[in-house]
Every structure is written in C-alpha cells, then in structure tokens.
C-alpha cells in the first residue's frame, strides 16, 4: 500500500512539473526592432516579446548586455556602421528552459548633397595656393594604408589632392553617402567605415590635412567614384597656414 501511495505522489509531482513547463513557460522568443535598416546616427530599440525574464544580449562591435531587472529591450543610440550585424538575445527564468532569438540590423550611410556650387574636377581654396583643375583623377588601392585612395593631379608644381578612405573598408569600393574627415590618413580601430582623410600637397613645401569631423559627400556617376566637399578646413602644421577647400573630383 505504501509503495502504491509513493508511486501515486511521484506521478502527481511529475505531472505538475510537466504541466508547468508546457503551459507556464514561453514556447519561444521573438525580437522586434523599431527599425532594422537605420541610418547612421539613428536610435534603434530592440524588444523581446516576453516580459520579466533574465536577458543576455550580444551583438557586433563587442556588444554585450545583461539585464536581470525584467527590462526586455536594448537601446542603441547614435548607431554607427560598424554596429551592423546580428543581435542575439537569450532569455531565461526559474524552472523554464532558455529561449533564444536573433535579428539582423543593417546600418546605412547617411545621405545628402553638397550645399555649395561645384564644378567637376576643380578645387579652390582660401589658403593662397593656386586653384586646381584636375588633368587626371585615379582610384587605387594603397597597400600601405590598406585603403582606397582617390588621387587628383594637374601638373608638376601644382597642388595635388588625395582622399584616403578608412582602412576599415580595405580594398572594397566605397559606398555612397556622407563621410567625415579625419586629420591623419592613419585610422584608429574604433573609427568607423564612414571616415575619410583629405590631403593637399603643394610644391613639396605645403602639406594640408583636413581637420576632423567635416562632411564629405561620396557618390558614383556612371560607375565612377566622385567626392564632393564644401569649405573643408585644413591646415599645414609646419608652416601654420590654414584655410578652406571646396571642390569636386570624379574618377576618370
């Protein structure tokens, strides 16, 4: 009799546990972003569809976040290109199996057009160096920078211009969009794909480099790379001369 009673209680307990896992636990997890294709600078929020659980998040650019407060979302403010990729979440609670889901976020380059009037393959400046009219504009892959470089040449003794894309991109065709200048053509690991360096070399004496954080507009015309810019501040550290550069250069 005692043996039968024990089996009866064990059966009840097993049934209770099975019922809890079957009806009281989430069957799965679903992640929903407010925007899966944001533009650089946007704020992205990703929600999990179950509340009051423990959440472990991971994603691109070494993203990792844990929440044990029951908050079922993450916020990515001022999102950058390097934050494109898969975001994963594992949610768990006591006596329930963990559930997991993922969502892909593709960050797009900001788009825009120059606010100034430009003539193709011409550059003017306020530095006192001669205005520039390109004879050749070539695009190459520079091994020393591991980057695409757009080089504009007029003649010996005239200014020359180089635009060096971020080595983050390597030997890949630059995407259209707004880029931001940096002061040296050597990039830090935390800088993003939309960073570019402008340099002007004049007569082997002046070497102007762009000040950081200014907009450069990258586009393609009939499959050829074009760079447009308005009043880019740049300076030569040796001479102390500085000024603004305005122009547009298209790969030939």
Q: What is the DSSP letter of 78?
A: T
Q: What pLDDT sits at residue 186? A: 66
Residues 138-177 have pLDDT tens digits of 999 999 999 999 999 999 999 999 999 998 888 999 999 9
Give the whole-angstrom CA distance, residue 91 versus residue 53.
Answer: 6
Please give the model's pTM, rounded to 2 decimal places: 0.82
Two tokens, residue 218: 């990258």
Question: Taking residues 27-49, what's their average pLDDT?
Answer: 96
What pLDDT is recorded for position 184?
A: 86
Percent of the chain beyond pLDDT 90?
A: 75
The pLDDT of residue 169: 85
Position 203 confidence tier, pLDDT thresholds 50, 70, 90: confident
Predicted confidence (pLDDT) at residue 7 exceeds the cutoff of 90 = no
Which residues in 112-130 are b (16+ Cβ under 10 Å) and which e?
Answer: eebeeebeebbbbbebebe
User: Residue 176 carries which DSSP code?
Assistant: S
pLDDT digits (tens, 9 = 90+) for 40-80: 999 999 999 988 899 999 999 999 999 887 789 999 999 99
Phi, psi (degrees; rounded to nearest 5) at 247:
180, 180
Domains of the chain: 27-105 (2.60.40.10), 122-250 (no CATH)
Quote the pLDDT of residue 3. Answer: 43
Quote the radius of gyration of the chain (alpha carbons, Å).
28
Query: 206-210 and 195-202 as β-strands: parallel, antiparallel, unpaired?
Result: antiparallel
Average pLDDT along the chain: 89
User: For residue range 78-112, what is the model confidence (pLDDT) as tens digits?
Assistant: 999 999 999 999 999 988 999 999 999 999 999 99
- Section 21-30 average pLDDT: 78
Cα separation of 159 and 133, whole Å?
Answer: 9
The burial of 238, by beta-carbon neighbours within 10 Å (0-12 exposed, 13-18 middle, 19 or more buried), is given as: exposed
Cα distance between residue 61 and residue 59, in whole Å: 7
Residue 88: other Cβ atoms inside 10 A: 15
pLDDT at position 23 is 55
What is the β-pairing status of strands 177-182 and 195-202? parallel
Q: How open is the CA angle 210-214-219, to the nearest 5 degrees? A: 100
Is pLDDT of 220 > 80?
A: yes
Confidence at residue 189, expressed as pLDDT on a 0 to 100 scale? 74
Q: What does the CA dihedral 168, 169, 174, 176 come to, rounded to 10 degrees?
A: -60
What residues contact residue 94 under an 8 Å CB cut-off, 6+ apart? none
| pLDDT(225) > 90 | yes
Q: Report pLDDT for 163.
A: 98
Residue-wise pLDDT for 180-197, tens only, equals 999 987 677 778 999 999
Contact predicate 121/248, CB 8 Å: yes
């Amino acid at each position: 009799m005692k043996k039968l009673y024990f089996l009866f209680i064990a059966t009840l307990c097993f049934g209770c546990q099975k019922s809890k896992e079957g009806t009281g636990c989430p069957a799965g997890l679903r992640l929903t972003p407010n925007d899966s294709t944001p533009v650089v600078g946007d704020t992205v929020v990703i929600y999990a569809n179950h509340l009051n659980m423990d959440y472990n998040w991971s994603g691109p650019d070494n993203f990792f976040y844990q929440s044990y407060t029951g908050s079922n979302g993450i916020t990515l403010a001022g999102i950058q290109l390097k934050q494109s990729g898969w975001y994963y979440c594992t949610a768990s609670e006591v006596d329930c199996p963990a559930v997991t889901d993922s969502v892909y976020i593709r960050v797009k380059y900001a788009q825009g057009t120059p606010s100034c009037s430009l003539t193709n393959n011409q550059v003017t400046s306020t530095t006192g160096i001669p205005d520039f009219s390109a004879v050749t504009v070539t695009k190459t892959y520079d091994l020393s920078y591991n980057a695409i470089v757009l080089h504009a040449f007029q003649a010996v003794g005239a200014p020359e211009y180089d635009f060096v894309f971020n080595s983050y991109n390597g030997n890949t065709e630059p995407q259209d969009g707004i880029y931001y200048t940096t002061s040296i053509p050597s990039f830090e690991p935390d800088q993003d794909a939309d960073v570019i360096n402008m340099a002007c070399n004049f007569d082997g004496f002046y070497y102007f480099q762009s000040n950081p954080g200014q907009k450069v507009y990258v586009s393609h015309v009939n499959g050829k790379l074009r760079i447009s810019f308005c009043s880019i501040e740049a300076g030569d550290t040796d001479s102390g001369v500085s000024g603004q550069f305005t122009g547009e250069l298209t790969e030939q």
